[in-house]
Amino acid sequence: MSQPPVKSGVSASLQGDPAALPAALRGLINNPQSSDVSFVVGRQRQVVRAHRCILMCRCKVFHTMFSRQSPQEMSVPFVIEQLQPEVFMAVMEFIYTNSVTLDGHIALEVLTAALLYGLTDLRKLCEDFISRTLTVDMACEALQVAVTFFQKDLHQRCLAFIEQHTQEIIRTESFQELSDLGIVSVLQSDHLAIDEVPLIQAVREWAHVSSVVLDVPIPVVAQDAVRELRLVLLSPDELTALERENAKDDLIPEIQIAQAWKFHSLKKVSDSNPHHFQRRKGTLPREHHRYLDPPSK
């Protein structure tokens, strides 16, 4: 069916093949032809060629960077040490084509780069990819990025995955490498699929690793994390065993253990901190739990 003729004096915005422009621009990525800026990237010192006008119109960080250059500096390559070449190339791919090729090896680093360069759409693509491809081994690493850069949506998605696979995740290297803020955000959850006894042991192992890495005493490095442990969930025998273990490293303040004993003595939930009396999803039942209020969900 033929289209009606356009009347004289009437304007229209018409679109050609939407894939044609990204395909043409893809050919310019790292193409020395007509490039006017270069980068030396990563420890490999890989040279990447680019075009100022494209980078400036697509990225405010590059716009600011190039605007501050004097004419004498324009021929000097920019050194990008903090990114791997494949990560920087993924950023270039997005800037030139508005699309990106990701895999599990670089997705978190590309997300970090997107945050550093203020590329909101690239950040969203990375977060969506990471959320859909989370694994037991990378969940805490992704959560740490979310915590570090205050990415609430990604944090919630990672935490939901950790809640489902808690027992496997506490045995991963990435769990041991969490920051204090990262592990606190995990321990605050009511929905961890694990009992408190192995969870306390996992925190103890995390604290020992962090103490060595940061060269900080165990009680200091773990002070925020241990506040989130729910000692009242333990039976008297388990509390006694915990005290014996605690004598070796002072992980948990004595007053916190004393408060758990107080609950066993009075059988009464404290109004000052009722959250510590909440059973988690994976909490195993014990006789004294009938005194806990509110009941577990």
Helices (H), the chain: 20-26, 52-58, 60-67, 85-97, 107-116, 120-132, 139-148, 152-164, 166-169, 173-176, 180-187, 196-214, 218-221, 223-226, 236-249, 254-266
**Predicted TM-score (pTM) of this structure:** 0.85
Q: Are 188 and 162 in contact (CB under 8 A)?
A: no
Q: Considering the chain, what percentage of its residues have pLDDT values greater than 70? A: 95
Domain-located, residue 16: no
Rounded CA separation 139/179 (Å): 14
Domain-located, residue 63: no
pLDDT of 295 above 70: no
pLDDT at 5: 64
Domain-located, residue 170: yes
Contact partners, residue 290, CB within 8 Å, separation at least 6:
none
Residue-number span of the structural domain to which 271 is assigned: 163-297
Average pLDDT taken over every residue of the chain: 92
pLDDT of 200 above 60: yes
pLDDT of 27 above 80: yes
Tens of pLDDT, residue by residue over 259-279, are 999 999 998 887 777 888 999
pLDDT at 297: 45
- Range in 2-11, 102-111, 226-235, 252-261 with the lowest mean pLDDT: 2-11
pLDDT of 296 above 60: no
Domain-located, residue 129: no
Domain-located, residue 173: yes
Rounded CA separation 117/120 (Å): 9
pLDDT at 251: 97
- Split into its structural domains, the chain has a count of 1
What's the rounded mean pLDDT across residues 16-26? 84
Rounded CA separation 272/32 (Å): 66
Tens of pLDDT, residue by residue over 142-156, are 999 999 999 999 999
What's the rounded mean pLDDT across residues 284-296? 81
Domain-located, residue 208: yes
Residue in this structure with the two tokens 């990378």, named with its chain if needed: 138
Burial class (CB in 10 A: 0-12, 13-18, 19+), 203: buried
pLDDT of 208 above 60: yes
pLDDT band at 70 (very low <50, low <70, confident <90, very high): confident
- Range in 3-17, 23-37, 64-78 with the lowest mean pLDDT: 3-17
- Integer CA distances (angstroms), 91 to 48, 133, 216, 262, in order: 12, 20, 37, 56
Domain-located, residue 292: yes
Domain-located, residue 201: yes
pLDDT band at 7 (very low <50, low <70, confident <90, very high): low
